[in-house]
Structures are given as C-alpha cells and as structure tokens.
Amino acid sequence: MAGWATFAAVAVAAGIGAVALAQGGSLAGPEQPLSEDEVLEQLADVDQAASTADEPSASGEPSPGGTADSGTAGTGAPGAEATPTTEGGHVLGGDGGTFMAVCEGDRVRIDWWTPAQGWNAAAVDQGPGAQASVTFTAAGDDDDDDGLVYTATCTGGVPAAALASGDDADD
C-alpha cells in the first residue's frame, strides 16, 4: 500500500514541476500578455537599438552587431506587411501567409510562399510580370473566391504588396 502512495506523491510532484517549467521556471502564475501599446513601445525600442547598431563608429566601420541592410519593403495596403530584405527579395504578406517577392527591373517574381497556420495557398501566379499574386484561403474553405489575395508589384526596384479579399473581386 505504501508503494502506491509514494508513486502518487512522485506523480504529483512531477506534474507540479512540469507546470512550473511551462510557466518559465517558477510556480507563480503566468504573466499577463502585453497590451498593443506595450508591444509597439518595445518594438520601437528594438528598432532604435537596431538603427544605432547600423551607424558607423568613429573609425568609419560599422559597430559590432550592425547589419548591412535592415530596410523594409513598402506595402500597398494595411494588412500586407513587409519584413527586411532577404537575398535580393522582400518577404511580404499578412494574416493568410507570407511570400518572397523579387524585382527584376519593373517586373516582379514570387520565389516562395508559405501559408499561415490554418490557411492554404489556393492560387499562385509567380510571374515574372508586371504583377504576381498569391491567394491564401482558410483551411477547409472550398470556395477559393473567399481568400486573401496579395498582389505584388515593383516600383523603382522595390517590391510592394496590395491586399484584397477574394470576394472583393466580385464587387
């Protein structure tokens, strides 16, 4: 009988330890999530630190930790987010997924695309051409017309994305 009590005590202790590790190593409750303002403030701090790291030192050399290119691509609409350049292209996208657009003069090409969790890539026009597009639809949605359509273009050698929902095309 004592064996079962020992086993139960060890199991409970292991469960408490697992919960403590999942919460960041303490038995305190989980922290409250950041508000939108707090997130924006922290992002501004990171952007400021990154721009400071990119400034040359007194010797004319970039400071340690600086990067060669931390620019972002423009976007044509809210919801079509851009991230830093990657190997000659820009990673663009939003809620439905992300994709890399590369400019070849005024022509754009989509090199790769990845749907976000719970989304599928329904249609892709890779280009190269005056524009290229990718349509992301919610997983399980059989109607390709209800997706998010990201259209990429190039202006001055910089890719940008415009977002339209698939049902906007019918209006």
Whether the model clears a pTM of 0.75, i.e. scores above it, the answer is no
**More confident position, 89 or 51:** 89
pLDDT in tens, 154-171: 988 899 999 987 555 444
CA 36, 159, 166: angle at the middle one, nearest 5?
Answer: 70
The DSSP symbol for 117 reads: T
Residue type, 135: T
39-52 mean pLDDT: 73
28-33 mean pLDDT: 63
pLDDT at 1: 62
Contact 139, 84 (CB under 8 A): no
Percent of residues, the chain, with pLDDT higher than 70 = 62
pLDDT at 46 over 50: yes
